[in-house]
């Protein structure tokens, strides 16, 4: 598959490396030329030598999206550090370029949920963190409840 990733931060770059390792074709777009270095963390060869692509440009510029290859993309991932940018460019990928699979990272849980219902595939790290934290709290209170005599404190 050909995967275009906009936003090459910690999340975007890790996903990019992982997908490349799994044998996919990966193209990254980021405004910051320095973010290229993040792609190569832990790699023995350069990103390009391994077959990756990298383009400098803004996700809202159609010229930059096209330079990154959006017109041939099977998957489009919007993972910049801005929710609004991600939601807008994901919709551009869907509506203007008809990319079959479009995924947007949205930190705001309320909007992630609403846009998901509008047919945009959203991934909400905040919601995952909330669930994990709640789960962790429930786990600890669960143990305390099972051992009301204070055994949980000892454990």
Partner 1 sequence: MYIIVVGAGKVGWNLARELLDKQHEVTLIESDRRRYLTVEQELEHNVSYGDASELWVLERAGIQRADMVIALTGDDEDNMLICQVAKEKYLVEQIIARVNNPRNRRHFDLLNIKPSVSATDLILRLLEHEVPEYGLVHLLDLQEEQLEIIEMLLGKDSAVTGRRVGDLQMPEGSLLISVLRAGKGFVPSADTVLEEGDEILAVLDPGKEDDLKVLFGPEGNGAPSA
Q: Which residues bind partner 1 (CB under 8 A)?
A: 60-62, 82-85, 87-88, 91-92, 95-96, 108, 110-111, 114, 118
Q: 123 forms bridges with which residues in the sheet?
A: 105
Q: Tell the smallest beta-carbon distance from residue 59 to partner 1 (Å).
A: 10
Q: 2 forms bridges with which residues in the sheet?
A: 25
**Looking at the chain, how many residues does it have?**
155
Comparing CB distances to partner 1, the nearer of 25 and 116 is: 116
Q: Tell the smallest beta-carbon distance from residue 85 to partner 1 (Å).
A: 5
Comparing CB distances to partner 1, the nearer of 14 and 91 is: 91
Q: How far apart are CA 155 and CA 67, in angstroms?
A: 57
Comparing CB distances to partner 1, the nearer of 53 and 55 is: 55
Q: Tell the smallest beta-carbon distance from residue 94 to partner 1 (Å).
A: 10
Burial (CB < 10 A; 0-12, 13-18, 19+), residue 97, is: middle
Q: Tell the smallest beta-carbon distance from residue 62 to partner 1 (Å).
A: 8
Residue recorded with tokens 């429930």: 138
Comparing CB distances to partner 1, the nearer of 22 and 98 is: 98
Short-list 22, 26, 67, CA closest to 47: 26
């Amino acid at each position: 598959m050909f995967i275009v990733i906009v936003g090459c931060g910690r999340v975007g770059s890790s996903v990019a490396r992982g997908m490349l390792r799994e044998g996919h074709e990966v193209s990254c777009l980021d405004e910051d030329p320095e973010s290229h270095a993040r792609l190569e963390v832990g790699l023995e060869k350069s990103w390009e030598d391994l077959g990756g692509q990298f383009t400098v440009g803004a996700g809202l510029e159609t010229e930059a999206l096209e330079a990154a290859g959006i017109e041939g993309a099977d998957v489009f991932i919007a993972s910049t550090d801005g929710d609004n940018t991600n939601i807008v460019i994901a919709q551009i990928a869907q509506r203007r370029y008809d990319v079959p699979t479009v995924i947007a990272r949205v930190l705001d849980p309320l909007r992630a949920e609403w846009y998901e219902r509008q047919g945009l595939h959203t991934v909400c790290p905040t919601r995952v963190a909330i669930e994990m934290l709640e789960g962790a709290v429930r786990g600890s209170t669960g143990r305390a409840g099972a051992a009301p005599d204070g055994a949980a404190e000892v454990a």
